């Protein structure tokens, strides 16, 4: 089945620093990847849609200058949290479809970010 790999699984960083999270589709090509954020006991919140070779589409309320997304190839998208603050501490999960728009999302294992 379709596999999405996400790295790192967890990261602790200091306020003001930047953190990069990688998302790879291992056995399929993904022109589109989705970045979600999930706070404890809350639902998944779509942050942005990453499009290969073009700019990402951000959801309302998500700062594009703070959450930088790069989708440089058909198998790799990166999310960089810039100038991280404690309120950015969350579970970040990427996902992709291995087929048409109606096919299910396959999720990476997620990255737990803690900003101290």
Partner 1 sequence: GQNIDQPTEMTATEGAIVQINCTYQTSGFNGLFWYQQHAGEAPTFLSYNVLDGLEEKGRFSSFLSRSKGYSYLLLKELQMKDSASYLCAGMDSNYQLIWGAGTKLIIKP
Binding site for partner 1 (CB under 8 A): 6, 42-44, 46, 91, 93, 101-102, 104-110, 112
Give whichever of 66 and 112 is closer to partner 1, judged by the CB atom: 112
Where residue 63 falls (left for φ over 0; alpha for ψ -120 to 50; beta otherwise) is beta
**Nearest distance in Å: CB 88, partner 1:** 18
104's CB contacts (< 8 A; 6+ apart) are 97
**Nearest distance in Å: CB 2, partner 1:** 9
Residue that has been written with the tokens 């949290």 in this structure: 81
Give whichever of 14 and 102 is closer to partner 1, judged by the CB atom: 102
Give whichever of 45 and 82 is closer to partner 1, judged by the CB atom: 45
The two structure tokens encoding residue 58: 């951000």
Give whichever of 2 and 82 is closer to partner 1, judged by the CB atom: 2
**Nearest distance in Å: CB 40, partner 1:** 10
**Nearest distance in Å: CB 9, partner 1:** 10
- For residue 82, the Cα-to-chain-centroid distance in whole angstroms is 13
Give dist(CA 105, CA 45) in Å, integer: 14
């Amino acid at each position: 089945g379709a596999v999405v790999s996400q790295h790192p699984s967890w990261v602790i960083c200091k306020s003001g620093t930047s953190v990069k999270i990688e998302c790879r589709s291992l056995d399929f090509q993904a022109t589109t990847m989705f970045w979600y954020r999930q706070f404890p006991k809350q639902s998944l919140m779509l942050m942005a849609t990453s499009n290969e070779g073009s700019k990402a589409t951000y959801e309302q309320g998500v700062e594009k200058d703070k959450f930088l997304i790069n989708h440089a190839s058909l198998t790799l998208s990166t999310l960089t949290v810039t100038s991280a603050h404690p309120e950015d501490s969350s579970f970040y999960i990427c996902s992709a479809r291995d087929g048409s728009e109606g096919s299910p999302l396959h999720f990476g294992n997620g990255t737990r970010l803690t900003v101290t």
